[in-house]
Structure formats: C-alpha cells, structure tokens
Amino acid sequence: MKAISLHFFPIKLPFHTKQLLRPLRKLSCAISATTTSFPPLVSVNDESTAAFWDYQFLFISQRSESVQPILLQTVEGAVPLGFPSGTYYLAGPGIFSDDHGSTVHPLDGHGYLRAFEIDGSNGEVRYSAKYIETEAQKEERDVETGEWRFTHRGPFSVLRGGKKLGNTKVMKNVSNTSVVKWGGKLLCLWEGGDPYEIESGSLNTLGRFDVIDRPETTVEESDVGMISGTTVWDLAAQLLKPILYGVFNMPPKRLLSHYKIDPQRERLLLISCNAEDMLLPRSAFIFYEFDSDFKLAQKQEFNIPDHLMIHDWAFTDTHYVLFGNRIKLDVPGSMLAVSGLTPMISALSVNPSKPTSPIYLLPRFPNAMGGDRDWRVPIEAPSQMWLLHVGNAFERLDEKGNLKIQIHAAACSYQWFNFQKMFGYDWKKSKLDPAFMNAKEGEEESLPHLVQVSININTVEKSETCSVELLNNWSTPADFPAINSNMYGRENKYIYAATSSGSRRTLPHFPFDTVAKLNVEDKSVSTWSVGTRRFIGEPIFVSNGAKEDDGYLIVVEYAVSIQTCYLVILNPKRIGEVDAVVARLKVPKNMNFPLGFHGFWVDHDQ
C-alpha cells in the first residue's frame, strides 16, 4: 500500500477543533510521507474554521506525478465535437512543505506543470503533471526516497529546518509562474532566472533555455535600440554586482515571467531587468521580440531613473507600456534579510511617497524614436495603483496625429500590497492567513480591481491627460484578466476575469469562485459561479471562430471540500445563464493539485 502524507500549516486551534483533529493527528503519525491527501473537515460547523481549512487545502502540496497521461472522467456535459484539439498548460507551485519542518511561500514553491490534452475529434481529455526539474529541485528532492529538504530560502520565505544564518541560497529558480509554447519550444518561466524547456508530450525537463545570452539573441548593433544614460548609481551597481552575482548567485539579468504575444506580427515579446536595480533608484529594462522561429527580431534597452518593480506590462502597435510600481530599499529590513532571519524580500518595500502612479510609454521601434516627447518622463496617472496583471492594451491615432492608449488591467492599492504577506503567508508561524486576502468591510477598494486606464497625447497642443476608472464601473474585487488572444494589441470588446460571489462570510473576496464577463461597449457584467466550498483559478479563452467571443472558456475548479480538481469548459456566450457549463471533467483524487498561477492554450492545428 502506498503511503501518504498529511502536510498542513501549524495553527493555534480552539479546544473543540483540537478534539476533532486528534484522530487525524494519530493517523498522521502512523503513516509516512510521499504524497498529499487530507480528509476535508466536512463536519466542522464553525464557518471560520471551515474557511480556514478550505484556504489551506487550496495550497496543499502534491508530490505525485503522472507516469502516463490519465483519461479524465466526464461528470457533466461533454466536450463538443469540433472543439479545437490542443493542450491547456497550467504552471504553478506544487509543494510548500518539506520533510524537515520548513514551509515556504506559495511564490517559492517548486514549479509543477499540469497539462490537459483535449482531443476534439472524440471528446476525450487526458491529464498529465510533472515537476520542472530545475537545479534547485534536483538539489532539494531525493529521487530515490521522494523526500524533500528545502535548502534554498527563496525570496519570500524563511526556512524552519536547516541552516538559517549566512544561508545565501536565496534565488532558487522554481520555474513556477507562467508557461508558453513558441517556436516549437515549451517554456516554463519564473521571475528571477532563465526559463526551463519542457518536452511537450512527456513533460520531461530538457534543461534551462538561455533566452538572453544564446548566440541567436545577438543582433547587429544598428538594429539595437540602446537608449541609456550614465548616472551616479553606476558605481554603486559595480560594487553590488560581485555580491549579488557571486555570493547570492543571482543572474546578471533576470527575465520577467510575463510575456506578450503580438498576433499581428507573429512575435513573442519578453522583458528582462538587471539584478542590481532591485536595490538602486534606477531601472534598466531590455525588451526582446522573437519571430515565429524564435529568432531575435529586435532588442531595445531603456534606462529609467526611478526605483520600480515590474511584474506585468503591456504593448501596443508602437509602444511598450510599463506601470511603474514604485519601491524603495528598506535598510533595517535588508540587514535582517541578509542575516536569514526574515525573507529576502524584506529588503524592499512599496514607496507610496507620491499620490500619482507613473506610466512609461517606451517607443517600440527604433525608427519611431523621434519626436518631441521624452520617454523618460512618465505619464502620471491621477491615483496610486499597484499594477498586478494586464488584460490588454491598444492605441488609436486620429487624423491630426493625436494618440490615445487604453489599458485594461487589475490593480490594487499601495496600502494593501505587501511583499511578505501575499496569499497570507506568515513566515513566523509557517501558515497561510486568509484574512490578508480578504479586506475588512469598507476596505474592499484596496483589493485588486479591474481598471481602465486612458492616456491621451495631443501632439498639436503638446498636452497629455490620463484617467483611471473602474472597468465598466464594476467595483467587485477581481484579478487574472483574460481576452481572446487574437485580440492582443487590438481594440477588444470582451474581457474575462476571476472574481468572487461574496457568498462566504469569512472568505468574501478570495479565493475566487466566479468567472466574470465584461462587455466594455455596453458596460454590462455577467457572471458564472462554481458553487459552495469550490474555487477557481485563471480563466483561459480558446478561440474557435471569427467573432471575438466565438470559442470556449477553460478554468480549473478546486473542490476543496472533497479535495478534487475539475477541468471546466464554459460557453462564453452563456456566462450569466444557467447552462453556461459545456463540460466538467474530474481529475483523479490522488492527483488533486494546488492552485495554479498562469496557463497557456496550444492549438495543435496552428
């Protein structure tokens, strides 16, 4: 009989709950640790206790991997004939607790790639899942025994077991954030290092893919936009480099996990920044554009005199758009972070010193870099907003040459955003506190919301304006905005997002349990909810026709009360109706997996 593991976050519980869990503790001591499965607390009547455990189960580790693709059971509806044959890849962390007492932040969990292969000819769906075999994963996991021992802290975590003081193993590349297939290569990306290439069929890891420094990434000097300027911080950067690169083993340039695809030019757009700029009041960004064969089409560098943290960004026909999330060096926090007593991210904090938010419009093409406007001067949005994820951006140019740029995105307040507490991680207690992701009554506006940012540049009057408003005047907290990928960079009518029904008193805003469809033309909002004690992740649109909403929505349902995941296919035209579900397919209980981050749809015919 295969042993199982009961890994959960330690907490202080009331007496009646301790009595309830006593048999489970005995069971936990009687069996050993190789996979994760934990009986749901369905008999707990206390809503706050049930909500706490539901939240923990959303982030429960899964140590098992698929040997062969698993045929999923259809439990509702059916995959329709004519559904595009393809694969939905979902990246995210797979493990949070090791076998030596350490629990890491979800952002530091080792990458676990999930794949749903859909055969549109017979309506069958097969599921596979494997860990990305990064260098850190190979070091921290014993292949023979399956035992895990975390030795790298990760930027957001503190280890309970193992070496703490002087532990410089910080930036472990867990390759857990996003996934893309381009130029025949399937890549898993992370915020601080090279992506890892994965074999499409087997999900075996082929190794690191050097996007930045491989020979194919060099171009003729005349084709490179090197827009820079020497600053007084160059000397400080030179002093930091041997420490960051040598002692902490950080890559000189870190590729961001969010990419963009320009369907009109058939290009993959990536962005990198310098490691030392995380600690300096300047930011150097390099943009790369690759053609459909993964050959570098162009590369541009921009040095911005501001201390910024970029997670997601946008593009239009002629610009890269960076929302400048302002940060600052926290000197006391950095001393504790270097010592290993607090997470490394403690060295940084948000910088709400200005009432506005900078938006940098960077010229995308070298031959378009002329003109009077200095790109180093940001457009100042009239409110503070910390940008999380972008749905889409597009531009219009009128007959007088005036430019209007519109961006749809998810943003939160500087007051709410906290590097150390994302997802409610408490490094002192090694548990997740759902209260952080669920603001108190009256503070909901600080949570992530969908916004519409409109920028107008009048070339005749030499004036600029910027406005920020709730998208469709819809105030419900939401994130993971998504559109039909054929509309990237073009004016779109529909945008989809993950949101909450607000039905849980203790979990009113997160985890999400609802898909929202927003029509930006008529300002309507329609929703579909998954049900009680069930949550969802990021929605993905699968195009299957000429119209913008011809196709399907794919989303993963996390039924935490029964520790089971489902792949749900929705009809986007029926969102808001009772028959929105096209099909629901069950992942075997023993392969139940934690919340994923970002996914990608690959159409096998394209």
DSSP 358-370: EEEEEESSGGG--
CA angle 488, 492, 497 (to 5 degrees): 85
Arithmetic mean of pLDDT, 279-307? 91
Arithmetic mean of pLDDT, 30-41? 37
Q: pLDDT category, 456, cuts 50, 70, 90? A: very high
Query: What is the structure's pLDDT at 60?
Result: 94
525 has a pLDDT exceeding 90: yes
Answer yes or no: is 311 a known binding residue: yes
Whole-number average pLDDT of the chain: 86
Q: pLDDT category, 399, cuts 50, 70, 90? A: confident
Query: What is the structure's pLDDT at 159?
Result: 87
Answer yes or no: is 389 a known binding residue: yes
Query: What is the structure's pLDDT at 333?
Result: 82
- Percentage of the chain exceeding pLDDT 90: 67
Which residue from 169, 176, 101 is spatially nearest to 131, judged by alpha carbons? 176
User: For residues 362 and 505, what is the distance between their CA atoms, to the nearest angstrom?
Assistant: 44
Question: 303-307, 365-369, 498-502: lowest mean pLDDT where?
Answer: 365-369
557 has a pLDDT exceeding 90: yes
Q: pLDDT category, 364, cuts 50, 70, 90? A: very high
User: For residues 86 and 117, what is the distance between their CA atoms, to the nearest angstrom?
Assistant: 6
SS3 180: strand
499 has a pLDDT exceeding 60: yes
80: DSSP letter: P
Q: Which amino acid is at 559?
A: A
Question: 32-46, 152-166, 187-201, 477-491: lowest mean pLDDT where?
Answer: 32-46
Query: What is the structure's pLDDT at 241?
Result: 60
Query: What is the structure's pLDDT at 342?
Result: 85
Arithmetic mean of pLDDT, 201-213? 93
pLDDT: is 444 or 387 the higher one?
A: 387
Answer yes or no: is 307 a known binding residue: no
Q: What are phi and psi of 246, to 5 degrees?
A: -90, -60
Q: pLDDT category, 573, cuts 50, 70, 90? A: very high
509 has a pLDDT exceeding 50: yes
- Tell me the β-bridge partners of 552: 542
Q: Where are the beta strands (DSSP E) in 437-588?
A: 449-458, 463-470, 478-482, 494-499, 514-519, 524-529, 535-536, 540-543, 551-559, 564-570, 581-586
- Percentage of the chain exceeding pLDDT 70: 84
Length of the chain: 606
362 has a pLDDT exceeding 60: yes
Arithmetic mean of pLDDT, 483-499? 98
CA angle 525, 527, 529 (to 5 degrees): 160
Query: What is the structure's pLDDT at 245?
Result: 59
Question: 29-43, 376-390, 430-444: lowest mean pLDDT where?
Answer: 29-43
pTM of the model as a whole: 0.89
